[in-house]
Amino acid sequence: MKTKPRHPVESPTAVRHIGGVLQLLCKALESQWRRYRKRLRQCQRRFSQEAVHDSRVEARRLLATVELLCAFIPERELKKARRALKNHLDSFDRLRDTQVQLTYVGHLLHEFPAARGFHDWLRKREKRFIRETRKAVRKIKTRRLGGKLSEFEGALQGRKKDLTSRQAFAKAERAVQLAFAQVAKLCRRVNAKDTETIHRTRIAFKRFRYMVDALSPMLPVVTDQHRQAMRGYQSMMGDIQDVEVMLSALDKFTRQEQQKSLSEVDHLRAELSQRRELLIHVYLNAAGKLRKFWPPGTPPKSRRALEAGRKA
């Protein structure tokens, strides 16, 4: 009696088009490099909040692809390109942080008298950071970065000779798995009383998320909903960092302006501290959702199981 051959069960990370990962990365480098330069030039020529946002987005997308190249190119060779893109993103940090703080403090103006002086102080900082960021962006050069990306593309083309399509995909998948393992390791070490542990987890998660984004055209289960969930998970940690930076800015404001109404400042600080504690609580309750991001579609771990893992 003949039996029908059994088809292998497709894994959660099954590739959509076998044979495409190296070609995908080559095309991604080329297209994202064009978009990156276009948005950077626009930001250099006409500096605005929208132009800054667009430039940051394209820098992140290009960095996502560069992060995934570690599966095929030694880390030491990626270092300069990665640093150049991170420096580009870092040049916006102080301006971005200040604008986030202005928005948040703006909602507290009527309730907290000390918020008014703090808001005015932040406005002055924003103007200074706009000038500094505009100058920094105009100084960004892309020739060396472009040369490195061309080298990477050549290296990827060379790997086609010694890797089968499945082997290439397996290497890319392995790189993402290692990045996820690092996030999980840091997540288990999170301490609610030490926000630096959450910050380190966020940085590692961001790298993992970038890599998943870059590989997503090959992963049928990485849907828009999945990517949105990853952004939301990262934002929970980012919100904590935003309040932490805001508290540091408030302390700096208090020292520089030699505030006389310290009780009013303390009232504002207590509000921000309470907000931070609430955000930490929200994140810890949702931290177990990390497990569903890799392999995509995995059920989230319960809070009890996550706490047990931290104590182990």
Q: What is the pLDDT of residues 232-244, one digit of tens each?
A: 999 999 999 999 9
Mean pLDDT, the chain, integer: 89
Mean pLDDT score, 71-77: 95
305: pLDDT strictly greater than 80: no
Tell me which DSSP letter residue 1 carries: -
Mean pLDDT score, 167-195: 96
Mean pLDDT score, 150-168: 93
311: pLDDT strictly greater than 80: no
Residues 6+ apart with CB under 8 A from 132: 94, 95
pLDDT at 1: 42
Task: State how far the Cα of 230 lies from the Cα of 225, in Å rounded to an integer.
Answer: 9
44: pLDDT strictly greater than 50: yes
| pLDDT range class, residue 84, cuts 50, 70, 90 | very high
Task: State how far the Cα of 129 lies from the Cα of 127, in Å rounded to an integer.
Answer: 6
For 296, list phi and psi in degrees, rounded to 5.
-55, 135
* DSSP-derived 3-state class of residue 108: coil
pLDDT at 212: 94
11: pLDDT strictly greater than 80: no
Residue 191 β-bridge partners: 194
pLDDT at 260: 60
Q: Does the global pTM surpass 0.85? A: no
| pLDDT range class, residue 257, cuts 50, 70, 90 | confident
> Could you give the percent of the chain with pLDDT greater than 90?
78
Mean pLDDT score, 197-226: 93
150: pLDDT strictly greater than 60: yes
Mean pLDDT score, 261-277: 91
Looking up tokens 């177990």, which residue turns up? 288
Q: Is the peptide bond before 295 cis (omega within 30 degrees of 0)?
A: yes
* b/e map 195-229, b = 16+ CB within 10 Å: beebbbbbebbbbbbbbbbbbbbbbeebeeebbee
Q: Give the residue, 3 or 193, on which the prediction is more confident.
A: 193
